[in-house]
Amino acid sequence: MGADEFHIEPCDLGTYGNGLIRPECVLCLSDGTVITSHAQGGVSVIAAGRDRRDILGPRDDLPAVVTNGFALTKKGDFLLADLHGEGGGVWRLTLDGQVSPFLLEIDGAPIPPTNFVGIDHKDRVWITVSTRHDPRALAYRDDVADGFIILVDEMGPRLVADGVGYTNEAIVDPSGDWLFVNETMARRTSRYRITGKGLGPRETFIEYDAGTFPDGLAFDEEGAFWMTSVVSNRVIRVTTDRQKHVVIEENDPENLAEVEKAFQAGQMGREHLDNIQTEIMQSISSIAFGGPGRRTAYLGNLLDTKLYTFDSPIAGYAPSHWGIRL
């Protein structure tokens, strides 16, 4: 069966890990290690055949980092996107639990609660902020576009894209030429050509239908990307010629219709993200490929204490952290 025909039912999913705390983001390493966000100050590391190890770091005079997205550096440190309402920015976490600032300001202003941080194959750091609104739920609308993207490279940190419709995960594609970005409340995946100084203008790559709120993003070896939608619990594979294929979906149609109604009326709130009336998947938020040949898909989520897994018909593209050992 080809990837364009592949489909899986929620009841056929496997699970991985237990006792996880808001495992929103997932990274996989070539030795079988799986790492997830831990919303109380760090990450959870599940090495193959071993018990879970939580690496948490307290901050002086500040609450713990609410880790949303995170990245793994070549040195074995973690960069944590802090979603805390009283802070934001990106923090560095060492394996022994030491926390220090990585980037807390841009253009002289504090960085708001931060959604995602990723490192590409050229060691560039990409940081996304979904909105400048406080609380963030004020930006759960299709007429608000105040998210932005920060690039950190040898030229230093700088704002490279603004006016984004609730910026979520941002990943460089396998060609290395484009940064693909999920715009959750604009309900599209956009791309920006990577230039010598930053990014070119935004291009809409694909738009999504009602009930789809794009969050996570990962490429496979054919150059297609797999997108996860919160609320509707959809995984959609999008090919290089912009064909969409729903791989899995689980939602309550009446509940999803209520969320859609609120969104169209500009009244969507946090309660619409947290009140997911499903039996298995609890608001999937990210996808990563790991295991032998990178053919196991791991789904992160917002509301469960474990990951969901399935066997993929095609291998995932190797991310920059794939060969790192902890």
**In 155-281, which ranges are continuous DSSP H helix?**
253-264, 270-274
Q: Average pLDDT for residues 189-207, to the nearest whole number? A: 97
As a whole number of angstroms, the distance between CA 188 and CA 173 comes to 16
Res. 1: pLDDT tops 80: no
Tell me how crowded residue 63 is: count the other CB atoms within 10 A of its CB. Answer: 14
Q: Is the pLDDT of residue 33 over 90?
A: yes
pLDDT, residue 50, reads: 79
- Domains for the chain: give ranges and CATH numbers: 10-311 (2.120.10.30)
Per-residue confidence (pLDDT) for residue 68, from 0 to 100 = 98
pLDDT of residue 219: 98
- Do the Cβ atoms of 268 and 274 come closer than 8 Å? no
Block residue for tokens 């290395």 = 176
Residue 170 CA to residue 198 CA, distance in Å, equals 14
Q: Note whether 191 and 205 are within 8 A (CB).
A: yes
What pairs with residue 146 in β-bridges? Answer: none
| pLDDT at 139 (0 to 100) | 98
**Stretch among 74-88, 166-180, 202-216 having the lowest mean pLDDT:** 74-88
CA distances to 227, 237, 314 from 177, rounded to whole Å, are 19, 20, 22
3-class SS of residue 100: strand
| Position 118 pLDDT exceeds 90 | yes
The C-alpha atoms of residue 108 and residue 139 are separated, in whole angstroms, by 23
- Tell me which residue of 323, 324, 291 sits closest to 307, measured CA to CA: 291
Residue 61 has pLDDT above 90, yes or no: no
Rounded CA-CA distance 89/130 in Å is: 12
CA angle (33 as vertex; 154, 13 as ends), nearest 5: 115
Q: Please, what is the average pLDDT of the chain?
A: 96
For residue 225, report the phi and psi dihedrals to the nearest 5 degrees.
-120, 150
Tell me: the pLDDT tens digits for 230-280?
A: 999 999 999 999 999 999 999 999 999 999 999 999 999 999 989 888 999
Token digits for 144? 């608000």
In the structure encoding, which two tokens stand for residue 21, read together? 């705390």
The number of helix segments (H) and strand segments (E) in the chain equals: 2, 26
| Amino acid letter, residue 95 | L
Residue 231 is predicted with a pLDDT of 95
d(CA 321, CA 324): 5
Cα 103 from Cα 159, distance rounded (Å): 12
Contact at 8 Å (CB) between 204 and 213? no
